[in-house]
Structure 1
Amino acid sequence: MRISQEHGAEPGTSGWRTYAACATAVAAAAIVGGVAVEPDSRWYRSLRKPPWQPPSWAFGVVWTPLYASLAWATGRALGRTEGSRRRVLAAALGGNLVLNAAWNWLFFARESPRAGLAGTLLLDASNAALLRCVHRADPAAARALVPYAAWCGFATALNASIARRNP
């Protein structure tokens, strides 16, 4: 993913094109991942799930603002970096979005809680790397990513519980 600094933008500021590029990338990942999700499938309904699993409708309600905060935070951070740090941050975001979308394919399309668990553990590691990169550029933007990382951690615990209950 290549996100370039807008012509004429002051160094260290985030122009609308940076935010738009981040929002587009996040939306694309959400769409690509969402295609694989089938919470009403026979397979998913047959899984034994923990009693603390949220209802299906809650996931869409939670993910929408998390994706918005991800787009805003990374757009802001990218606008405050230049050179190799900007490239590293853009790569961290791109890798994170790939892993975010991939989880749905690993869990739902492959019908494999264990593959999903592997994917979400990688996503958690990617979240830590992304948080570090964003924090270097803008601590306020990094704070905005904490709920995203926390929700992914919750999703990892949920996925692990489902994998354990359905060997």
Structure 2
Amino acid sequence: MTRRIAPAAIAALLVAVAPLTAACGSDDPAPSRLTVGDLPQATSSIEYTYAGPAVPPPGHHEYLVRTAGSRATAIVGGYGVAKGDAPADATTTSTDVSSVQWGQLVEGLSALDDLPPAPTGCVGGSTYGVHVLADGRAVLDRSDVACGPTAAEVSAAYHAALAPISDRLGLPAS
């Protein structure tokens, strides 16, 4: 037995769903256009990760920087730090984040716009990432590979984004 859906039922469904989809993509800020208004300091977080090139452990560096509320914490060490598995010899530093610095960190996200992709087949690059939450929901989640001719540009963009707090956290040059 075949069932047919009445045109009136389809129309009612479309009327019900239309308001839910009207805002999709229209007024939502692009990740690069996030403002302090979109990311209130009290209810938002910005997390950066860095994993350097794959080299033997003494020379490999990673860091994880979490900024939430008025605090930023950096974990710096070797393999596993960027994934949240800090080795025993990892160091942790924290610093206060003023509302001015928070605004600079939010504005710094635009430094990550339009970064070039790593060339196909590029080996030995570093990986940078940023994950932003606003009121518990992800509003930005991206990673970029700094490799070959794009390495300096990608690295510089991430360093610029973290500049308001990087010195106070003792982040290594990467």
* TM-score, scaled relative to structure 1: 0.29
| Bigger relative contact order (CA 8 A; separation at least 6) | 1
Greater fraction of residues in helix: 1
TM-score, with normalisation over the residues of structure 2?
Answer: 0.29
Structure with higher strand content = 2
